């Protein structure tokens, strides 16, 4: 008796595959036991990051989101598409050029025309909607509009918004550390690793995710069961904590003196005219008007944990709990 034919291979296109989110998602999907083929898009296929993904089995393809012909070719014959555009990229910051929202809408349209069935977008809820217009965050609101725009295309079987919490990765980034007082890299004149920021408001905890440890697996799981998540914006997080608890945990892990100094107002957060810092100031205002919740709603680690569990089962790996703040610091600073 002849054996049943193997299921058709499903090609998943990962946009920006060498970026923080794209790398994590690509690495996780490459371990899937499903019949996925991963097409990793990058503007520079010769980079070490791109070549590393190629060695692991990804089909690395040159594609610039601003080049429609390259994107059409990159999406041809694909089943799934992961899209994450960077709204602080210089290419979408030109005064008379296309905005990040323009880019997102154009790529959504190209994906629909290419016959993509499962579209998953790195997005946000709308702070303007969550706060009834009190505290909009232009970049976040624009991303939400792109997600809503994508839902109008009947050719997609599933449109899913993946909303990452604040990155744990920020705490291993020197530029981010400098913007918040130096913690956890540079001591101040009193010898403390100081984190200074406005308070988040409300419950005073920060909803945070490790992209490398958890987020990639969560998105992997969304591709495994897309119909369940169709039409939803899914908040994805690893842990939530107060800034006081954060610096205390760091001190416990490293033995170094660390402290949190709150600012009186979100307006006290220095922006230096930098678009990223201007947005962070807006985000603090938003959170103070949303009970301190970045997601506009209470913590939901259960959903994130179930998604992580599903991806690890698909990869044949043992279950693993979402990484905590203290574990993250131990992993990156515990040996210092």
In a domain, 129, yes or no: yes
Could you tell me which of 164, 171, 119 has the C-alpha nearest to residue 140? 164
In a domain, 1, yes or no: no
pLDDT of residue 8: 74
In a domain, 126, yes or no: yes
Q: What domain range includes position 97?
A: 10-333
Q: What is the pLDDT along the chain (336 residues), one digit of tens a residue?
A: 545 445 678 999 999 999 999 999 999 999 999 999 999 999 999 999 999 999 999 999 999 999 999 999 999 999 999 999 976 666 655 777 788 999 999 999 999 999 999 999 999 999 999 999 999 999 999 999 999 999 999 999 999 999 999 999 999 999 999 999 999 999 999 999 999 999 999 877 999 999 999 999 999 999 999 999 999 999 999 999 999 999 999 999 999 999 999 999 999 999 988 888 999 999 999 999 999 999 999 999 999 999 999 999 999 999 999 999 999 999 999 875
What CA–CA distances, in Å, run from 69 to 3, 63, 101, 113?
A: 40, 9, 19, 13
In a domain, 5, yes or no: no
pLDDT tens-digit profile of 9-44? 899 999 999 999 999 999 999 999 999 999 999 999
Angle at 186 between CA 180 and CA 192, to 5 degrees: 85
* Residue 119: CATH number of its domain: 3.40.50.720
pLDDT of residue 202: 85
pLDDT of residue 273: 85
CA dihedral 316, 321, 327, 331 (to 10 degrees): 10
pLDDT of residue 118: 98
pLDDT of residue 6: 52
In a domain, 224, yes or no: yes
In a domain, 286, yes or no: yes
In a domain, 59, yes or no: yes
In a domain, 4, yes or no: no
* pTM listed for this prediction: 0.95
Which long-range contacts does 99-104 make (Cβ < 8 Å, 24+ apart)? 99/142, 100/139, 100/142, 100/143, 101/142, 101/143, 101/145, 101/146, 103/65, 103/66, 104/142, 104/143, 104/146, 104/149
pLDDT tens-digit profile of 111-141? 999 999 999 999 999 999 999 999 999 999 9
Count how many domains the chain has. 1
Q: Which residues contact 95 (CB under 8 A, 6 or more apart)?
A: none
């Amino acid at each position: 008796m002849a054996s049943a034919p193997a299921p058709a291979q499903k090609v998943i296109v990962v946009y920006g595959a060498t970026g923080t989110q794209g790398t994590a998602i690509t690495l996780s999907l490459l371990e899937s036991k499903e019949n996925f083929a991963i097409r990793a898009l990058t503007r520079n296929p010769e980079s070490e990051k791109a070549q590393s993904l190629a060695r692991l089995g990804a089909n690395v393809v040159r594609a610039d989101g601003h080049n429609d012909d390259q994107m059409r070719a990159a999406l041809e014959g694909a089943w799934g598409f992961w899209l994450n555009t960077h709204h602080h990229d210089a290419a979408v910051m030109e005064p008379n050029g296309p905005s990040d929202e323009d880019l997102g809408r154009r790529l959504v349209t190209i994906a629909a025309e290419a016959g993509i069935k499962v579209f998953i977008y790195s997005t946000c809820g709308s702070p303007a909607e969550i706060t009834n217009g009190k505290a909009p965050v232009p970049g976040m609101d624009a991303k939400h509009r792109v997600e809503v725009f994508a839902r109008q295309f009947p050719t997609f079987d599933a449109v899913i918004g993946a909303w990452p919490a604040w990155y744990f990765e920020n705490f291993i980034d020197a530029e981010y550390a400098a913007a918040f007082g130096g913690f956890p890299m540079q001591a101040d004149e009193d010898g403390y690793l100081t984190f200074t920021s406005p308070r988040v408001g409300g419950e005073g905890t920060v909803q945070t995710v490790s992209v490398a440890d958890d987020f990639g697996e969560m998105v992997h799981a969304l591709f495994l069961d897309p119909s369940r998540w169709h039409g939803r914006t899914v908040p994805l997080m690893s842990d939530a904590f107060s800034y006081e608890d954060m610096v205390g945990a760091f001190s416990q892990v490293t033995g170094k003196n660390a402290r949190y100094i709150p600012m009186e107002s979100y307006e006290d957060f220095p922006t230096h005219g930098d678009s990223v810092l201007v947005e962070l100031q807006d985000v603090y205002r938003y959170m103070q008007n949303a009970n301190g919740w970045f997601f506009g709603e209470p913590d939901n680690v259960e959903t994130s944990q179930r998604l992580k569990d599903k991806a690890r089962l698909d990869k044949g790996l043992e279950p693993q709990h979402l990484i905590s703040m203290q574990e993250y610091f131990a992993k990156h600073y515990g040996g210092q």
